[in-house]
Structure 1
């Protein structure tokens, strides 16, 4: 009769299950893979495949009891680490969505919304366009490979069972405010140009009150807004490279014990 001892089960749990929880938690939260477009079963199979490839190359894992409070705490810790990795990537992607929504509100296109198939929520069309653009740029520049590399390195720089440094992660959390700053930097030229257009319409209304400025200004603002967004696309690549580097560097800092 085939029997397993507690030591063997604990060794398997430490060697395979603990890394699997960190990997699966990140894949469930991160953009592209963690969206509704990818079925839950496919994500689990993908996490299992990554775990099988990584485990032979990882440092020795701690031997834990199969059923123990400390084991459950270590599992919760690994899930938390993986969720934080995916959350940072989500913030990076949502920065461009916020930028698109700001531009859409300024140009009067905020009413034009569509259902985001990835998240199942209604977003502005411009925001969805920016999200699709940054997704393609992220994949084209092998950003997903960099994320997997950081994830593999995290098992060396942040070993399983090493414990979380609350002060370290609180310091990193304070840096997440750059998200809204990045969104403003992305759309500041467009918002400034649209503000000048609205001021010009206001002056026209005061100078010639008999003009129906709403029937003229609304479609003109939409057209000028689209032209401004089209012109701003010429510099989107350089801005994306800077912000993607900052996001990935922040992700690498999270995977390191201070």
Structure 2
């Protein structure tokens, strides 16, 4: 009896860990690469121990074929990567916003290391992504991400073949919407840049001998800093609303 029970239980935990581990690799605030892999692995295993008894009845029995076991694990990993990618794409909205803000305010050449993206990024991008992540943790929005992961077992039944076409279309729509919203967040900077450069062009026509670049660049940077301070709180609030609205469909309301 124990020869049958132990492999069945181990298979159930492995199946749940495959999806949860894949989600945690992409999940904002929890799956960041600067967090120790041991901590993330421990968190994933602890979450698996808690979630498995809850979803145990909906899990398929262990197949006799090793190939079928691998296919089930691959399907769970694919579903986890899909859910985590949606979360990550929404967070990258702040990267789009920061890139546009930096470009139009004269900070495009000022680069800094962005731990969220594991590479060099514009200053506005670094500030926005780090602030958004801190707000997600401070407001307990990461609990919503964990709830979405657990409730995904009611949306994507383990053992069913994932609908790859729907996955690709959902990701494509999320990327397109995130880009549009990111540009909308930066619209005050775009409007200010249009007005500012129009006034500079008029000034250059009225005073041809004026070295317009030496006057315009410091003023552009100063105005960009002031405008960024004014719109930062509003951008973060609107981003949190967009973030929760995007993740909410993955949460099943009982």
Secondary structure in structure 2 of the residue aligned to 1:58: helix
Deviations 1:193-222 (A, max 9, x none): 122101111111122110000111000000
For residue 107 of structure 2, what is the aligned residue in structure 1?
Answer: 109
- Cα distance, 1:169 vs structure 2: 2.4
Q: How does 1:113-192 map to 2 (within 5 A)?
A: 113-176=111-174, 177-192=176-191
Matched-pair contact (CA < 8 Å) for 2:90–2:178: yes
For residue 231 of structure 1, what is the aligned residue in structure 2?
Answer: 230
What 5-or-longer segments of structure 1 have no aligned partner?
A: 254-258
- Cα distance, 1:38 vs structure 2: 0.9
Matched-pair contact (CA < 8 Å) for 1:116–1:122: yes
Matched-pair contact (CA < 8 Å) for 1:172–1:250: no
Q: 2:47 aligns with which of 43, 46, 50?
A: 50
Deviations 1:209-238 (A, max 9, x none): 100001110000000111111121242244
- Cα distance, 1:191 vs structure 2: 1.2
Root-mean-square deviation over aligned CA pairs:
2.0
* Structure 1 pair 92–236 and aligned structure 2 pair: CA distance change class (3 A): same
Q: How does 1:1-258 map to 2 (within 5 A)?
A: 5=3, 7-8=4-5, 10-60=7-57, 61-65=59-63, 68-176=66-174, 177-252=176-251
When normalised by structure 2's length, the TM-score is 0.91
Deviations 1:55-106 (A, max 9, x none): 1121422222476111111111111111111111111111111101111011
Matched-pair contact (CA < 8 Å) for 1:13–1:66: no
Deviations 1:159-189 (A, max 9, x none): 2112212343244234211011110110011
Matched-pair contact (CA < 8 Å) for 1:10–1:65: no
Mapped partners of 1:168, 1:118: distance in 2: 28
Mapped partners of 2:18, 2:248: distance in 1: 23
